Structure 1
Amino acid sequence: MPETMVAEVMAELAALEDPKMRQANEKRGDDHGVNLSKLRAVAKKLKTQQELAVRLWATGDTAARLVALLICRPKAFGREELDTMLRQARAPKVHDWLVNYVVKKSPHAEELRVAWSADSDPVVASAGWALTSERVAKKPEGLDLSGLLDVIEAEMKDAPDRLQWAMNQALATIGIEHAEHRARALDIGERLEVLKDYPTPPNCTSPFAPTWINEIVRRKEG
């Protein structure tokens, strides 16, 4: 593949750069200034191109990496490759898209879930917990839900922000999807009070687990 293609994509992304958007994104730790709808349009035009995706990822540029995650073939990456990519993905949006758009579709997802959940790096561990939430909702067979609640109860309160957020999502998912564990999930949420005062826009559900669980259960049963 000619290097000019990488250069063309980088030039297109540079032309879409908006200083105000970069300023807003940087407050969340995302060092890029490209509107995500426009970025998705760039990716849609490129379609699936695994080799280009690998080269764009290698630039280290956040916007280029987001495009790479949209045009790659998730099943083409090996386990070690995905592990390396996750450890390189420090921008929250890149981390989020890598887990949700690529790793969740990978045949290595379960193996990585187990490994990452136990990792000493809280950002890596947060990816493991995100994969755990997915499994709690879609394929809970074989998971020790009581054991997961034990870990959440013991560790979530003092966990760093991104890991805390991912553990809280797992807590809410267990409470929503598994009625037999709902009372305990609600109790843990009430006692730990994690994200209780999180600013929530009107018409949005609070991430505070008891509120989140009760609202989604009400909608499902209503």
Structure 2
Amino acid sequence: MAGTTVAATTVASTTVAELMAELAALEEPRAREVNAKRGDDHGVNLSKLRAVAKRLKTQPDLARELWKTGDTAARLLALLICRPKAFELAELDSMLREARAPKVQDWLVNYVVKKSAHSEDLRRAWFSDPHPVVASAGWALTSERVVKKPEGLDLVELLDVIEAEMKDAPDRLQWAMNHCLAQIGIEFPEHRARALDIGERLEVLKDYPTPPNCTSPFAPAWINEMVRRQSVK
């Protein structure tokens, strides 16, 4: 039994080493430069990273080993090949708190936590966390519920918190709160006027640079555009 364990560990370590070398070979200086502007410390083109994940398929044990490296590209790959339902609540909480790169945080929430049986418990735990990145994850999960399962949410209270705190919130938390504001305005006509009013008065992301043919993240513009699209379906 001991010999089997050593052999398995050696194979796993070799596999991780091979993948780390492969990811290093995929590094592109331009990609690293672009990613650095967003706070992400890696230079792997995400399309190429996804191609590696597609080849590997789902491998929970390998995913955990890749995560342990602490390398951003390796962690992104880990999130693509993991099994979301295999993680315990405390493990997911720890992963979010130790994730440094914004892209890792986003993928962890969107690709793993949202598919986990612990998503609602984590949403509640993270929502009012003093750490803005953790709180932003709670708000992201709340936006998901606003759209897919709003029953039980106090939308008036959410709007109260957004109105009181969004203007001065740190960037990532502000972005998540703004997203929630927009989704409430889009999904609930009875709250739309207030959501538009909050957005207009706070002016959060009003001047955010938006490429042509893309919808501005400024909540009033976002709400009005999505409602317009719904009306012409």
Report the TM-score when normalising by structure 1.
0.99
Cα drift, residue 90 of structure 1: 1.7
Cα drift, residue 149 of structure 1: 0.2
Question: Which residue is 1:130 aligned to?
Answer: 140
Question: Which residue is 2:180 aligned to?
Answer: 170
- Equivalent position SS for 1:156: helix
Question: Which residue is 2:21 aligned to?
Answer: 11
Residues 50-199 of structure 1 mapped to structure 2, 5 A cutoff? 50-199=60-209
Question: Which residue is 1:207 aligned to?
Answer: 217
Q: Deviations over 1:58-111 (max 9, x none)?
A: 000000000000000000000000000000112010000000000000000000
The answer to whether structure 1 residue 24 and structure 2 residue 34 are counterparts is yes
Counterpart amino acid of 1:4?
A: T
Q: Alignment length, in residue pairs?
A: 222
Q: Quick one: distance in 2 between partners of 1:90 and 1:167? A: 20
Q: Quick one: distance in 1 between partners of 2:178 and 2:33? A: 28
Flag the structure with larger Rg: 2
Cα drift, residue 19 of structure 1: 1.4
Q: Quick one: distance in 1 between partners of 2:147 and 2:226? A: 13
Superposition misfits of 4+ residues, deviation over 3 angstroms: none
Q: Quick one: distance in 2 between partners of 1:200 and 1:174? A: 22
Q: CA RMSD in A?
A: 0.5
Q: Quick one: distance in 1 between partners of 2:201 and 2:115? A: 35
In structure 2, stretches of 5+ residues that fail to align are 1-7
Question: Which residue is 2:50 aligned to?
Answer: 40
Query: Share of identical aligned residues, percent?
Result: 80
Cα drift, residue 169 of structure 1: 0.0
Cα drift, residue 23 of structure 1: 1.3
Cα drift, residue 214 of structure 1: 0.3
- Equivalent position SS for 1:24: helix
Cα drift, residue 34 of structure 1: 0.3
